[in-house]
Amino acid sequence: MNDQLDPARAAAAAEAAPTPSDLANALRALAMDAVEKAKSGHPGLPMGAADVATVLFTKVLKYDAADPAWPDRDRFVFSAGHGSMLLYALLHLTGVEGMTIEELKNFRQLHSKTPGHPENFVTPGVETTTGPLGQGIATAVGMALAERMLAAEYGEEIVDHHTFVLASDGDLMEGISHEAIAFAGNLRLSKLVVLWDDNGISIDGPLSLSDTTDQRKRFEACGWTTMRVDGHDQAAIARALARARKSDRPTLIACKTTIGFGAPTRAGTSKAHGEPLGAEELAGAKKALGWGHAPFEIPASIKKAWEKAGRKGRSARKAWEQRFQALPAETRAELERRLAGIPPQALVEAIAAHKRALVESPAAVATRKAGEAVLEAIAPAVPELVAGSADLTPSNNVKVKTSVPVKPGDFAGRYVHYGIREHGMAAAMNGIALHGGFRPAGATFLVFTDYARPAMRIAALAGVPAIYVMTHDSIGLGEDGPTHQPVEHLAALRAMPNMRVFRPGDAVETAECWQLALERTDGPSVLALTRQNLAPARTTHSETNLCETGAYELSPAKGAAAKATIFASGSEVEIALAAQALLAERGIPSRVVSTPSLDLFLAQPEEVRARILGDAPIRAAIEAGVRFGWDAVIGSDGVFVGMESFGASAPYKQLYEHFGITAAALADKIAARHNG
Ligand SMILES: Cc1ncc(C[n+]2csc(CCOP(=O)(O)OP(=O)(O)O)c2C)c(N)n1
């Protein structure tokens, strides 16, 4: 490197013709300056990985800064989100609209386009929200899979791009990385390339404190090609990337770097990781790098060279646009719709027809089974649906008869066997959705949302419309016992902003909730479905989707004004109806409000909520889960029947008796309140 250069000479040289090192140093300087100004942030990674990023953006990435979201671009996933300033510097220097130098000066400030960690919904050119380590690499796997699936459908003339990841030691230490790399290796996602910023340093100090994994061997064991390069030798990095692009497997490039490269005392130490360098160290670093410019100042020749890199993919984009325009009109319109994430017109009629058929021949059915029937009915109308399961295919009922699994190297199928990798599945689903062209629906048992939750949270935060089909949704699963019986999960999921939780009470509601989940474009949905059969609650056809307000009056009070309103979700709807009958026998009129989505109900306008809440003096709720959250409807003095402990292992009917989740118990409680 040019660490001996006199700043004045370096500046003059940079004006003449910037070297690759000058380009990398511009990234370093901007990261140092922005972190310094913000008085917080992570300079070490941008300084260490600047050469790797420079090679990727100037020589390899199919990228056009004028349209950083064009469909056939290479994806660059910045997994080590804490080093966000490197990404912001790249977006600024290459000329992404809106990524001004002012934005860099506002790093980490309110309403800036440069938040602490990259957020795809804030910053143009950011592919996915990262920061929780491991999420980015696992999301990228989903993107790489989506690329292959879309290419299998539309051909490589239209879909043919790579997915590159910058990952840190922390990304690779996180357990999710293992799920992700094993999944990608098995499927032979050969257009996935992970650049590992192998600096041997994390927050606590040298990695040897906590990890001695041979990462190359680990990746190789998972079916990857691996290479090792000096992460400050740009020519070597370029050669490795060229080789990676030819591999028939996903590739890991271990880039040996120095964290805080250039910082006189902090380089190579954890002190460079996550705090401003301070004036003296910063000045020393700039001197060592031969960077003689004022804070945030980039010499015109260097900016120009970066802008040229930003145009590198323009001709590829223009050529792609021509090929895209040359597609038959119908094909093009359909792909446009899918890339825009717009639900198909045909969905509404498919759901309506299915609902009519259900009402015509009512049957007691588990909602997981009802869900399968919905998928059978809508599959032709929703070609973008990619269902899958974390190795519970026979239990989750999300595989329709005609669907074919995706297999290693064969991406024509639309069913994904994710393996026993709930977290990896949820992250891959984020990638599939963010890539565009597909709607992922992944399944496991509701209790295992705990295993998937960090990626589900990213979906909620980043507005990813993933659908989680979570079966075995309560003690109603029976004999598998408390390890498998969710108790607090509905409440926990409802607590997550922008997560929609549906718990339909019969086959018709299952169809309606599926429709609402598929029509969501700005966030994820959980469908909590039963293992046990449920009696039909909806016996007459309604063209309207009654679940769309989250709750609705299913069974009005008969004869007189209701003395009680009973709110119930899922499998407890039929118990609520039975309790209503018992109360009627005792001369206490009541109404039942089915509540397939408590959170959607609470999000309704005041007047809608008031109408559905009604004015009966007693409010009660029944759900085979904890009370947490229900007080928003029934009040802290409301009557609640549900779970107060973990479940138990027994046939499910005995469990409902044992835990007092019965019509008699509910009717008794309401009657006691009424009479008392
Ligand atoms: C899931 C998760 N756990 C913890 C953190 C906090 N954290 C941020 S960076 C980091 C580790 C830093 O080490 P490394 O990944 O090697 O990055 P580098 O030091 O090279 O910047 C940690 C623990 C996080 N962002 N995500």
Q: DSSP letter at 342?
A: P
- The low-confidence residues of the chain, meaning pLDDT below 50, are 1-4, 14
Taking the centre of ligand 1 as the mean of its atom positions, its distance from the CA of residue 127, in whole angstroms, is 20
* Segment 80-95, tens digit of pLDDT: 999 999 999 999 999 9
Amino acid sitting at position 253: I
Cβ neighbors of 651 (< 8 A, separation 6 or more) are 478, 479
> Residue with the nearest Cα to atom 12 of ligand 1?
202
Q: Which of 35, 117, 119, 133 to mutate to test the pocket of ligand 1 (most atoms within 8 A of CB)?
A: 133
Q: What is the pLDDT of residue 404?
A: 96
H-state helical runs in 556-662 = 573-585, 598-602, 606-613, 631-634, 652-658
Owner of token pair 């005995």:
654
Which atom from ligand 1 is nearest to the alpha carbon of 169?
A: 16
d(CA 502, CA 522): 16
Structure tokens at 382: 């929703």
Token readout for 237 is 């990095």
* Contact by Cβ (8 Å): 285, 264: yes
Q: Is 101 exposed, middle or buried (0-12, 13-18, 19+ CB in 10 A)?
A: middle
Locate the ligand 1 atom nearest the alpha carbon of residue 48 and give its number. Answer: 20
Which residues, 6+ apart, have CB-to-CB distance to 239 below 8 Å?
229
170 CA to middle of ligand 1, Å? 5
Length reported for the chain: 676
DSSP letters spanning 37-85: HHT-S--HHHHHHHHHHHHIIIII----TTSTT-TTSPEEEE--GGGHH
pLDDT for the residue 12: 61
- Looking at the DSSP bridge assignments, the partners of residue 192 are 163
- 169 alpha carbon – ligand 1 mean position (Å): 8
Note the pLDDT of residue 81.
98
CB-CB contact of 527 with 467 (8 Å): yes
Mark whether 127 is an active-site residue.
Answer: no
196 token code pair: 């590992």
Interval between CA 531 and ligand 1 midpoint (Å): 40
Mutational pocket test of ligand 1: of 202, 204, 277, the residue with most ligand atoms within 8 Å of the beta carbon: 202
Each residue of 499-526: b (16+ CB within 10 Å) or e?
A: bbbbbbbbbbbbbbbbbbbbbbeebbbb
Greatest Cα pair distance, the chain, in angstroms, is 95
By most ligand atoms within 8 Å of CB, the mutation choice from 45, 78, 85, 168 for ligand 1 is 168
How far apart (Å, rounded) are the C-alpha atoms in residues 574 and 662? 10
Instruction: Name the residue at shortest CA distance from atom 9 of ligand 1.
Output: 82
pLDDT of residue 408: 95
Question: Positive or negative CA dihedral for 360, 366, 371, 373?
Answer: negative
Binding pocket residue ranges, ligand 1, CB within 6 Å = 42, 44-45, 80, 82-83, 131-133, 168-170, 174, 197, 199, 201-203, 259, 273
* 215 CA distance to ligand 1 middle (Å): 17
Cβ 241 vs Cβ 55: under 8 Å = yes
- SS3 state of residue 589: coil
Q: How far is CA 528 from CA 10, 561, 592, in A?
A: 62, 33, 20
CB-based contacts of 198: which residues, under 8 Å, 6+ apart?
Answer: 169, 215, 228, 231, 254, 255, 256, 257
- Specify the residue for token string 């977006």: 91
Q: What is the pLDDT of residue 16?
A: 73
| Atom in ligand 1 nearest the alpha carbon of residue 199 | 20
Single out the catalytic residue among 422, 509, 574, 623.
422
**Which distant-in-sequence residues (6+ apart) come within 8 Å of 438 by Cβ?**
146, 149, 150, 338, 384, 385, 386, 432
Cβ atoms 651, 478 nearer than 8 A: yes
Distance (Å) from CA 274 to ligand 1 centroid: 9
Q: What is the 3-state secondary structure of 497-559?
A: CCCEEECCCCHHHHHHHHHHHHHCCCCCEEEECCCCEECCCCCCCCCCCHHHHCCEEEECCCC
Ligand 1 atom with the shortest distance to the CA of 81: 25
Ligand 1 atom having least distance to the Cα of 174: 1
The DSSP-derived string for 321-336 is HHHHHTS-HHHHHHHH
Angle separating helix axes 44-55 and 234-246, nearest 10 degrees: 60
